[in-house]
Amino acid sequence: MLTLKTVTRTFPNGKMAFRDLSFEAQPHEVIGILGTSGCGKSSLLRVIAGLDSEYQGSILIDQAPLQGIHERVGVIFQEPRLMPWLNVIDNVSFGLRGDSDTNRKKALEFLQLVGLEGFERHYPKELSGGMAQRVAIARSLVTSPDILLLDEPFSALDAFTKMQLQDLLLQVWKKCQSTMLLVTHDIDEALYLSDRLLILRGQPGELVEVIEVTESRPRSRGSERLARQKQEILQLLHLTAEKTGEVQDDTNIWERHPAARRELSFKGLS
């Protein structure tokens, strides 16, 4: 289990990325993180990934304080970040320790899972963007991380590939049982994949709502029930924005996703 208690991240120049974030992610839970641009979503993932260790508050993994990069935490970024000098199978098995034959078998198994059987000997430059991101998914999940952090993992892909990879991620997630934290600007994606959504707003970012997505899995992207629920949450977010005088910011982010109309049940923070 991942626990954050009043975590604040301030950069050396005094700029605060986010403030007083507290939440828990249960084993096997998918948490979507949505928020206005610059509210600290990527900074939050970097802190949990152990890449930035200067923060206030506490971060616990299974009740133990996080100390730098944790071997049970994996990260998938917007761009695949593959090693260009290694072929596909070597990229996937790179993080595995121990017997190399066993590692190659395991890497192959994950390449099959992400639909890249037969591409083991290809190099990153020979892959499409979607294929490279599949390799990145396989590389992250082959180590069976307890927690997988995803920072806009599909935002650079075309809509069709994006949907394919969202479904693929769900398939692999079922097998791996990892907890996932997904930063995205895409509300449809967040609703399709997540069990709960954290809504951040402001600069520094603060947690303004926690929303439970109650639609059962497997979800249908065209579900009317979800569409109605999204309508409700959009209205709720506009109302929330009016209260704090940040209408312009929030209007912009939601308007970037005009097709978004899905329902959520809403759970307030206490």
Ligand X SMILES: Nc1ncnc2c1ncn2[C@@H]1O[C@H](COP(=O)(O)OP(=O)(O)OP(=O)(O)O)[C@@H](O)[C@H]1O
Q: In whole angstroms, what is the distance from residue 197 CA to residue 158 CA?
A: 24
Phi-psi region of 68 (alpha: psi -120 to 50; beta: other; left: phi over 0): left
Task: Quote the least distance from Cβ 218 to ligand X, whole Å.
Answer: 29
- Regarding 199 and contact with ligand X (CB under 6 A), the answer is no
List alpha helices for the chain, DSSP H.
Answer: 41-48, 88-93, 100-113, 129-141, 159-176, 187-193, 224-244, 247-255
Task: Quote the least distance from Cβ 103 to ligand X, whole Å.
Answer: 33
Task: Quote the least distance from Cβ 131 to ligand X, whole Å.
Answer: 25
Task: Quote the least distance from Cβ 231 to ligand X, whole Å.
Answer: 24
Residues near 237 by beta carbon (within 8 Å), at least 6 away in sequence: 199, 209, 250, 254
Whether 202 contacts 36, CB under 8 Å = yes
- The secondary element (H helix, E strand) that includes residue 150 is strand 147-151
Nearer to ligand X, 15 or 221 (CB): 15
Size of the site for ligand X (CB under 6 A): 13
Whether 32 contacts 196, CB under 8 Å = yes
Nearer to ligand X, 55 or 110 (CB): 55
| Binding letters toward ligand X, positions 149-188, x by CB under 6 A | ----------------------------------------
Task: Quote the least distance from Cβ 183 to ligand X, whole Å.
Answer: 7
Task: Considering only residues 201 through 260, tell me which ones interact with ligand X, judged by CB under 6 A.
Answer: 203
Task: Considering only residues 40 through 79, tell me which ones interact with ligand X, judged by CB under 6 A.
Answer: 40-43
Nearer to ligand X, 17 or 168 (CB): 17
Nearer to ligand X, 51 or 247 (CB): 51
Nearer to ligand X, 41 or 134 (CB): 41
Task: Quote the least distance from Cβ 66 to ligand X, whole Å.
Answer: 18
Nearer to ligand X, 43 or 178 (CB): 43
- Residue 20 Cα distances to 24, 37, 39, 146, 196, angstroms: 13, 18, 13, 24, 19
Task: Quote the least distance from Cβ 199 to ligand X, whole Å.
Answer: 12
Q: In whole angstroms, what is the distance from residue 25 CA to residue 27 CA?
A: 7
**Treating both helix axes as pointing N-terminal to C-terminal, what angle do 129-141 and 159-176 enclose, rounded to 10 degrees?**
10
Task: Considering only residues 119 through 138, tell me which ones interact with ligand X, judged by CB under 6 A.
Answer: none
| Binding letters toward ligand X, positions 2-41, x by CB under 6 A | ---------x-x-x-x-----------------x-xxxxx
Task: Quote the least distance from Cβ 203 to ligand X, whole Å.
Answer: 5
Nearer to ligand X, 40 or 124 (CB): 40
Q: In whole angstroms, what is the distance from residue 89 CA to residue 70 CA?
A: 23
Residue 266 burial by Cβ neighbours in a 10 Å radius (0-12, 13-18, 19+): middle
Residues near ligand X, by CB under 6 A? 11, 13, 15, 17, 35, 37-43, 203
